[in-house]
Chain A
Amino acid sequence: MSDNQASDTPEQAEFRARAREWLAANHPGRPPLRLPQGALEVSDPHALEWLRSWQKAAYDAGLVGCDYPTQVGGGGRTNCQTVANQEMFAAKTPYLVNVIGLGMGAPTVFFHAQEEMKQQWLPKLFSGEEIWCQGFSEPGAGSDLANQQTFAERDGDNWIINGHKVWTTLAHFASWMILLCRTSKDDKYNGLSYFVVPIKDAIGRGVTVRPLIKMTGETGFNEVLFDGLVIPDSYRLDEVGAGWKVAMTTLAHERNAGQMITPASGGMPLDEGSGVSTNDPASLARLARNQLRDGKRAADDEALRDEIVKMFIRSEAFRQNRRRTRVPELRDHAQRIPLQSKMIVTELQQDMAELALRIQGLGSTLSFTDDKAPDAGQWGLAYMNTFGITIAGGTNEIQRNILGERVLGLAKTK
């Protein structure tokens, strides 16, 4: 974080000082219960309430949504969300629970919804009072996202929706969903439209939410069934038939390559005892120094040392790549590094966690629910959870297609 401050604008500098001061006095402390590793796995309502009150406090302090205009509940600032994020991570805060809303719902609504709808939706999204989810994926529409079968049929000033969404993260708490669906069967892409639809208030009135269980045994995502849900036309974003264009706004932000910086906090070690952060190669080095294998420290094993160093190098490179994207003189193609970021960070986390399991040796067989597990079993859990992120948000294979096509100009995979 040390290189962040050097060239703050006056506004950023003033904002940074205030953020730092507020965080020093208002860190929420440790949660009264064990939180899952990330917001995608929150399923206990008590965890939700605790995390929601943290998000509300951060929003009230001006740290969430600060670059959005004040009319829609934002802070009306310029380039300050980055500063807020840096300071929240530096203060090792809990994560923000309304991730889908902040990362995808807010920018999509902001760029494509009617003005009064923005004013209705965005403030409660920023504060976490209303949780949002994303209804893109279907049983037959995963990587091939445009293959949507969920259908919205016009009925006067209303739309009637029928269909089946899967892998819908946080739908079990959600008030609203951003929904991509079909309004015409004539054209694969131009037959798509984009809506915001109610979930919680419509349960039993055309909406059913059922949890799906992840490989870790946790939940967090769901299937959502629409059976004749009726919504007003004012919930539509952009034109009928412009759904694909709107979805691109969502996806660009989901992959950290959008116009708005997503509010994000985090860094609080989930397990107080070990203090392990599964995103930090220093945690791997520490683990290796403490772990005995065959009577010797793992840190003395030449092969493991080499692999750990590779993680340090990749992690530093990721940081420096982000820094370089903000220096126009040092990049040849504006999208080249931003489009890599989702793929790079998720694979780095996956590989670090996998390496940790080999450092732990037999200790890695223990579940995070076993008190004897080294580093509280966080690495094994993290390893499994990283497959969520190498798959979600457009799989990393799809990311490589996009990079090859948009940046290197290679022929399109259809």
Chain B
Amino acid sequence: MEQPKNFGFGEDEAMLRDSARRFFSDNLPADRLHALVAAEFDPHRANQCKWDADLWKQVTELGWTAACVPEAEGGIGMPLVAAVALAEEAGRAGFPSPMLGTFNATFVLRGCDTDAARAALGAIAEGTSMTLAVTNSRGSLNAGDTDVQVDDSGRLTGSAHFVQDARKADRYLISARGANGVGLYIVERDADGLTVAPDVIVDVTRDQAILGFDNVSALEVAPPGAGQTALEAALPAMLCVLSADMVGAGEWLLQTTAEYARTRVQFDRPIGFFQAIKHPLVNLMVEIDNAKSLTYNAACAVDIGAEDQLTLARMAKAQASSMAVYSGSRAVQFHGGIGFTWECWVQMFFKRQLHSQVLLGDANHHRRQLADALIGPVAA
């Protein structure tokens, strides 16, 4: 299977990406983001969910969330590299939204092959947002682990944890265990018997919650036994869009810090003159470029159905995660005292990167899986 030389990133994808970049620079420059999400600094503040729902509505009207919905379901049917480009721009803007969740739900639903899943994809194309509720209280990365049970009449009981952007999404895509294994279900945010208990999180650009289910009636999109496979099949694509978000945020941190190093003067010189600043910024640039190239490569592998897509996606996420931490750390350090303040915009991206690096498994997790694939399993 040969990948196209251009990663399948053609004119349409470039146009979509450029319009996204313009959209964010017009509507969500970093000062606006700070005013939106960081008005309150008290760490004991009530858990909050600060975002611009109207901006999100514009995003859905622009068709971004329909991009990877198949045409048969009313979407645009673009390749994954299109969603990756959008996620990269959203990361660069630190965009608070259910965008990644909606992409993830799209990838999972595409693998479900039921009428209900197709209808749910149609709803996404029309602007409904979703997020995944598939993690148990221990944060297990195994798609078969869930703390939600489904009974014979399709009602859910139990809890789902670390649900991303839970208060922004319209609907949840939930994994639940029944007698014959894990199935996938959809529940509306205002469903009877559902409670949304927000976590207090460090990242100011996201929200996160625990969902409690008490005999909640749900729509089945994958029957018990088929859910785990659908989740696992979607993993490479999910890793790609998350990595892309980190690449975008990393690039914002790099460019913002380079700008500071060009203008802040100490010892009669712009601090970027000093190699203790210059060289690590170059190293960060290299880490970002590596993460970006690996991400587009993995997304392209998903698009052509390549056998090694999971391996390539794990490489992307491992690289993006370690880059993400480095980008935040160097940005704060090289801004000096101001970088350590709440007021400095850097903190928002620093925290978003720390949050992203552990979602869907950190660098160590993915490298451990890669070792099995590339070196072979550890002898018993």
Contact = CB atoms under 8 A, between A and B. Distances in A.
Interface stretch (A46-54, A197-205, A299-307): A299-307
B3 A309 contact: no
B290 A299 contact: no
B5 interface: yes
Contacts, number: 163
Interface residues of B, number: 51
Contact of B278 (A2, A302, A404): A404
A239 interface: no
A305 to B, nearest CB: 4
B140 interface: no
A154 interface: no
B239 to A, nearest CB: 13
A6 B5 contact: yes
B152 interface: no
B341 interface: no
Contacts of A306: 364, 367-368, 371
Name the interface size band of chain A: 35 or more
Interface in B64-110: none
A330 B7 contact: yes
Contact of B374 (A285, A329, A344): A285
B328 to A, nearest CB: 18
A144 to B, nearest CB: 15
A412 interface: yes
A66 to B, nearest CB: 20
B35 interface: no
Interface in B363-379: 364, 367-368, 370-371, 374-376, 378-379
B261 interface: yes
B270 A410 contact: yes
B2, B17, B283: residue with the most chain A Cβ atoms closer than 10 Å: B2
Given A3-B2, A324-B296, A312 B278 contact: no
Contact of B371 (A6, A308, A321, A404): A308
B319 interface: yes
A165 to B, nearest CB: 28
Q: Describe B's contact surface by its main secondary structure.
A: helix
B289 interface: yes
Contact of A300 (B5, B283, B379): B379
A308 B374 CA distance: 9
B279 A400 contact: yes
Interface in B1-47: 2-7, 9-11, 13-14, 17
A297 B379 CA distance: 8
B297 interface: yes
B315 interface: yes
B180 interface: no
Given A320-B293, A323-B297, A413-B275, A2 B2 contact: yes
A187 interface: no
A47 B269 CA distance: 53
Contacts of A312: 315, 370, 374
A236 B318 CA distance: 52
B4 A7 contact: yes
Contacts of B291: 317
Contacts of A289: 375-376
Contacts of B275: 397, 400-401, 413
B294 A317 contact: yes
Contacts of A316: 294, 297, 312, 315
Interface string A275-315: 00000010001001100000011011010011011101110
B289 A340 contact: yes
Interface in B232-264: 254, 258, 261-262
A131 to B, nearest CB: 34
Contacts of B261: 408, 410
A371 B133 CA distance: 60
B293 A324 contact: yes
Interface in A391-413: 397, 400-401, 403-405, 407-413
A327 B294 contact: no
Nearest to A298: B375
Interface string B285-299: 110011111101100
A326 interface: yes
Contacts of B374: 281, 285, 308-309, 312
B161 to A, nearest CB: 28
Interface of B: 2-7, 9-11, 13-14, 17, 254, 258, 261-262, 269-270, 272-273, 275, 277-279, 281-283, 285-286, 289-294, 296-297, 312, 315, 318-319, 364, 367-368, 370-371, 374-376, 378-379
Given A7-B4, A317-B290, A317-B293, 16 more contacts: A3-B2, A3-B4, A5-B2, A6-B2, A296-B379, A302-B378, A309-B318, A309-B375, A312-B315, A314-B290, A317-B294, A324-B7, A324-B296, A400-B279, A404-B272, A404-B278
The 9 residue pairs across chains A and B that have the minimum distance between CB atoms: A410-B272, A317-B290, A320-B293, A411-B273, A404-B278, A305-B371, A329-B14, A408-B258, A320-B297
16 contacts: A285-B374, A299-B379, A300-B378, A300-B379, A302-B368, A308-B374, A309-B375, A317-B294, A321-B290, A324-B289, A327-B6, A330-B6, A330-B9, A397-B275, A404-B282, A410-B262
